[in-house]
Amino acid sequence: MDVLSIGALLLLIMLLLLSGGVWIAMTLAIVGWVGQAFFTNTMPGKNLFSAFWESNASWELAALPLFIWMGEILFRTKLSEEMFEGLRPWLNRIPGRLMHTTILGCGVFGSVSGSSAATCATIAKVALPELVKRGYNEKLAIGSLATAGTLGILIPPSITMVVYAVAADASIIRIFLAGFLPGALLMLLFSGYIAWWSLRHPEQVPAADPPTSFMEKIRLSGQLIPCTLLIVFIVWVLVAGWATATECAAFGVLGSLVIAAWGRSLTFANFWEGLMGATRTSCMIMFILAGAAFLTKTMAFTGVPRELAEWVNAMNLSPYALIGCLVVVYLILGTALDGISMIVLTAAVVLPMIQKAGFDLIWFGIFIILLVEIAEVTPPVGFNLFVLQNMTGKDSNLIAKAALPFFGCLVVCIALITVFPQIVTILPDLVMGKDK
């Protein structure tokens, strides 16, 4: 059996197991085991243990449960409600009103966490209950959270960006700078869709509040000050290089506890509930990460990603036909691999093709990260779909359907940076000069 047929067979087994109700992490591990046991000469048992250990024994990953705990604290105390009350008068006249908080929250938090899963889980925990309670459309809220959560890997700092920069031997700072404008563009596209949808379905958006004077808006915004200061502090110490993302996450937890205690909304009961909620969510995500890591090893041993890349290379396509073909290849890989693995396993073949076609490696870095974002919301292994499935209890296919319009926004963003590559390159060139 050829390599691509093996990949198709493993994908079919995965779909069958998921449709049969097998746990997501177990499905990934089973498919990985089948691939190694029947199609390679490696020892699946040894690789299973090493994949599970390596995927979770990471200092960087320690930021994930801490950020999730921070979200639990905000959710279980009055802080999330106060944040929404502070934002309400400013968003009152914009179509979609408080629904835009999912986009704003994911954009700001994504710049702190650098993780798609942490961003999605934290903002969902804070925003989703408040939006549903206030009468906003739950399907739209879930769809926006699934896709806006991916901003965590596009808006710097981002672990995925660092991995690409190392693989491409490119400047990490230039990659970071290149992510800001596409990130802002994507936020505008997401918010633009929410506004358009709200104008089309006014009956599904809560009525606007009576007009509020400017001074009243300022007074209500006072409720935003504690959490805003906390977020600004976290971003500041991270950008200044005084703390790592994991240390920033610890500051976030400590700051949330202090603010909640100062506001007299922290009790032992909600402290314990938040801690247990963060533990359950973190264990769920790490279990899935471990299963995905094992499946990634299987894909590496079978050679499916490299075979796909070499197949594209053999076609001798024109530059834009090459880009179109790579989009298809990475979308296929995204159904079975996480973003970092997609980059690492294909870089050796794809990057020389890109350079030969005359594309800027910094631009291609943002291009491939946008494709990774699409993979995060693509069944059957869209990681953000799994996160929201476990948090909401809804089927991942329903979540994927809710995310479909925002998926379209991601495609539009990819098209725009392809037609206008200056969106990506202008900021690095202005700050650091032209890359020779």
Q: Using CA of residue 396, residue 402, residue 405, residue 410, what is the dihedral sign?
A: negative
pLDDT of residue 416: 93
More confident residue, 103 or 343: 103
More confident residue, 223 or 393: 393
Which of 52-56, 392-396, 426-430 holds the top average pLDDT? Answer: 426-430
Which of 256-260, 305-309, 418-422 holds the top average pLDDT? Answer: 418-422
What is the spatial distance between Cα 205 and Cα 137, in angstroms, rounded to a whole number?
Answer: 7
| Residue 116 contacts residue 376 (beta carbons within 8 Å) | yes
What is the spatial distance between Cα 406 and Cα 147, in angstroms, rounded to a whole number?
Answer: 6
**Of all residues in the chain, what percent are helix, strand and coil, respectively (each to 5)?**
80, 0, 20
Q: Which two tokens stand for residue 157?
A: 């700092």
Other beta carbons within 10 angstroms of residue 73's beta carbon come to 28
Which of 128-142, 181-195, 233-247 holds the top average pLDDT? Answer: 181-195
pLDDT of 185 higher than 90? yes
What is the spatial distance between Cα 346 and Cα 357, in angstroms, rounded to a whole number?
Answer: 17
Angular region, 408: left φ>0, alpha ψ -120 to 50, beta rest: alpha
Name the DSSP letter for residue 209: P
CA distances to 72, 74, 289 from 275, rounded to whole Å, are 8, 12, 21
DSSP labels, 282-326: HHHHHHHHHHHHHHHHHHHHHTHHHHHHHHHHTT---HHHHHHHH
pLDDT of residue 226: 78
In this prediction, residue 235 has a pLDDT band, given cuts at 50, 70 and 90, of low
What is the spatial distance between Cα 24 and Cα 146, in angstroms, rounded to a whole number?
Answer: 17
pLDDT of residue 423: 92
Other beta carbons within 10 angstroms of residue 81's beta carbon come to 17
Q: Which two tokens stand for residue 368?
A: 């491939």
Q: Which two tokens stand for residue 94?
A: 């914009």
pLDDT of residue 157: 62
Residue-wise pLDDT for 109-119, tens only, equals 666 555 677 67
Rounded (10°) angle between helices 245-262 and 101-113 = 130
Torsion of CA 34, 37, 42, 45, to 10 degrees: 80
The amino acid occupying position 419 is V
More confident residue, 298 or 126: 298
CA distances to 311, 320, 348 from 307, rounded to whole Å, are 6, 21, 12
The percent of residues above 70 in pLDDT, for the chain, comes to 88
Name the DSSP letter for residue 95: T
How crowded is the C-beta side of 189, counted as CA atoms within 13 Å? 21
What is the spatial distance between Cα 406 and Cα 186, in angstroms, rounded to a whole number?
Answer: 10
pLDDT of residue 164: 80
Residue 269 Cα to chain centre, angstroms: 31
Mean pLDDT score, 145-165: 78
Q: Which two tokens stand for residue 19?
A: 């449709």
pLDDT of 196 higher than 90? yes
pLDDT of 359 higher than 70? yes
Mean pLDDT of the chain: 79
Q: CA nearest 38: which of 1, 88, 79, 83? A: 1
Residue-wise pLDDT for 19-37, tens only, equals 777 877 788 889 889 888 8
pLDDT of residue 267: 86
What is the spatial distance between Cα 330 and Cα 342, in angstroms, rounded to a whole number?
Answer: 7
Q: Which residue has the tokens 């995500």?
A: 285
In this prediction, residue 75 has a pLDDT band, given cuts at 50, 70 and 90, of low
Name the DSSP letter for residue 206: P
pLDDT of 388 higher than 70? yes
